[in-house]
Amino acid sequence: MASSTSAASAPPPRPRKATVTTERSRAARAAAGPRREVAERELDARPVAETLYHVLAAALLLEEGQTLRQRRGDFRKLLVASLYARRWLAPSAPGVPPFSWRTLAHLERLVDWQPIAAEALAAAPAGHC
């Protein structure tokens, strides 16, 4: 019983210095709030706005893709949505292309506006052959 009490009262591990510094700078920027320069606030907001833009674009492509799949059985717009999301929303390791060669094999059919089968969506993820 005594050991569980002493373990429960032990102080939590201290965060690393970089984490503390980042949190302090974030807190300082938040505390400055409206007093900050407009350009500085816009600079902080830009990455969020860009991500929201890409989320909206991917959502619209997915919506259109669902409609085309239901009406015509064509998966082309779902493939486009998948490629778009993989390129703009999925993190990738440096030096690893966002698309596999199997995925890129469907680009000619996309360019020629040919129907795309459901199998195209099962193409290997990026970095795989």
Q: Is residue 90 part of a domain?
A: yes
Can you tell me the mean pLDDT for 62-71? 96
Q: Is the pLDDT of residue 57 over 70?
A: yes
Alpha carbons 49 and 58: distance in angstroms, whole number = 14
Q: Is residue 19 part of a domain?
A: yes
* Number of separate domains in the chain: 1
Q: Which residue has the higher pLDDT, 53 or 14?
A: 53
Q: Is residue 60 part of a domain?
A: yes
Using 50, 70 and 90 to split pLDDT, how confident is the model at 32? low
Q: Is residue 67 part of a domain?
A: yes
- Assessment of whether the complete model's pTM goes beyond 0.85: no
Using 50, 70 and 90 to split pLDDT, how confident is the model at 6? very low
Q: Is residue 8 part of a domain?
A: no
Q: Is residue 83 part of a domain?
A: yes
70: containing domain: 15-122
Q: Is residue 76 part of a domain?
A: yes
Query: In this structure, is the dihedral angle defined by the CA atoms of residues 28, 34, 37 and 38, taken in order, positive or negative?
Result: positive
